[in-house]
Structures are given as C-alpha cells and as structure tokens.
Amino acid sequence: MEKEKTFDCLCIKSIDYKENDKLVTLYAFGEGKIAATLKGVKKSKAKLKFAGALLCFAKYYLTGRNGYYSVIGCDLVDNFYGIWTDIDKYYAALCCLEILDKVADDREIGDKLAALTLEFLNEICYKNTNIFLSFATYLSKTTQLLGYRMAPVCVNCGEDKNLSFSLLYGALVCKDCKEYNAISLNEQSVHLIKILQQNNDLKNLPENVQFKDEDVISVIRCFFEIIGKNLAKKFKTFEEYNLFYNKNIIYNKIT
C-alpha cells in the first residue's frame, strides 16, 4: 500500500508531461530533491495548477514509493508573484533555483541553501531592495556555504591592488599575474567583493558608498564562476543572464 508523505517544498523545476500532466522537481526540507507527477494540472479548471509552477513554496502531499511520487494535495504558502512580473527579479530567481537543483544532492548543504534561497526570494519579492546587490549577496553567501571564501589579495603574490578575477584559479589576481581572459574589475567591484566576503552582507554599508549596476554584475559573474568551478558544473540559466545584462550594459554605454 502506498504511504502518503508530507513535505514543505519549493518547486525548482517544472516540465510538461503527456497531454495534461506536469513533472516537477521539488526541494523538500529534510528530505532533499524529489521528482513528482502532477496529473491533470494543465486542464483549465485544475485545482492544483499552482503546485506545478516554479517558485511555488507549499506543503505538498505526496503518495508513491521507490522514488516515484504523485502530488495529491498542496497547501500554498507563497508563490512569489511579485518576482514573476519583474525581469530582473525573475532572472535572478531562476539562477538560484538552478544552483539549488545542482547542490541538492548534498542534503546537509541543500537544506541550508534552500533556506537561504527562500530568504532571498522573500527579500526581492517584498522589500524595496537593489536586486543586483541582493543577488550578489546571495551568491557570496552561497560560495561560503560551499566552503569557499575569496581572499582580498592576489592569490599568487599577495598584491592587493589592480586586481582582476582569474577564471583559471577562481580567485583574485593582480595585473602581473592575470591570464589573458581574466575578468576585469574596477576598484568598486573589488571593494564590493571584499565587503561581501568579509562581512557577508551590506547592512552596515555607509550611505555615501554607491555601486553601479554594471560593477555589481561583474561581481555576480565572479561568484558564479566560483560556484561552477566548485561544483564542476555549468549553469545554462546564468549563461543567459550574463548574455542579457552584458548586452544591456554595452547598449547603454553606446546610447
């Protein structure tokens, strides 16, 4: 007999399946990543349609065995609607879901990262915050959760000026040690990295310290390179994110 199970879950993947069904990947707190079927939810009057949407955080009622589950009920906690209507928030949220999906196999880290992800989703959905700075903060915390903290000096010689980000080492390097394809960083970007890696947040940032969006996006790219190197995985969503915002930066400079 199939036993019913109940978990607090965040929907991190959702794909169409058959004519009216969906296959979802859920991150279940205390359990890890779960694949489940939502039957008939593509019909116009389906009661559980919301349960098959990305970013749905809810109590899911599942039935099944041997890793094959069906969703038979769902009590919604939050669908983060405000994220769906803002392209900057939505892109960042999708990147976070992809990270959680790739980290979730390690349950100890997975639960911590899932909690951090929910905190981030709440922040960008309900608070008047700079989305790029919030995203950079989330990624900085994620790198440290994975066991990596970026040193504020050149990883080769210890120089603390004229720093870039090395794709080879996944760390900061000076102008004399950098390779040809290192990510160029200005003083503001390096300053932001140092603050985030040392303090883990921007709560005590002086009001006169300002960061341009393009500087923060460079920092975001650095943290994603660290995460990818640490996990030995690529992130398709962030590749799209990087392409989209780099095009915007170039366009804004031209115009």
Calpha distance 62→40 (Å, rounded):
15
For the chain, give the number of residues.
Answer: 255
CA quadruple 29, 229, 227, 205: dihedral, nearest 10: 150
Rounded Cα distance, 14 and 37, in Å: 10
- What per-residue string of b and e applies to 64-86 under the rule 16 or more CB within 10 Å gives b? beeeebebbebeeeebbeebeee
Residue pair 35/60 in contact (Cβ under 8 Å)? The answer is no
Given this model, what pLDDT does residue 19 score? 85
pTM for the model stands at 0.91
Q: Determine the 3-state secondary structure of 19 from DSSP.
A: coil
Q: What is the pLDDT of residue 252?
A: 46
What the block records as the tokens of 40 is: 């008939």
140-178: string of b/e by CB count within 10 Å (b at 16+)? Answer: bbbbeebebebeebbbeeebeeebbbbbebbbbbbeebb
What six digits make up the tokens of 51? 């349960």
Do 116 and 142 touch, CB atoms closer than 8 A?
Answer: yes
Beta bridge partners of 33: 27
- CA–CA distance, 158 with 120 (Å, rounded to integer): 33
Q: Are strands 163-166 and 183-184 parallel, antiparallel or unpaired?
A: antiparallel
| Phi, psi for 60 (deg, rounded to 5) | -100, 135
Residue 80, helix vs strand vs coil: coil
- pLDDT tens for the chain, residues 1 to 255: 467 899 999 999 999 888 888 999 999 998 899 999 999 888 888 899 999 999 999 999 999 877 789 999 999 999 999 999 999 999 999 999 999 999 887 777 999 999 999 999 999 999 988 999 999 999 999 999 998 989 889 999 999 999 999 999 999 999 999 998 999 999 999 999 999 988 777 776 666 678 899 999 999 999 999 999 888 888 899 988 988 887 655 434 434
CA distances from 27 to 145, 153, 197 (A): 17, 37, 27
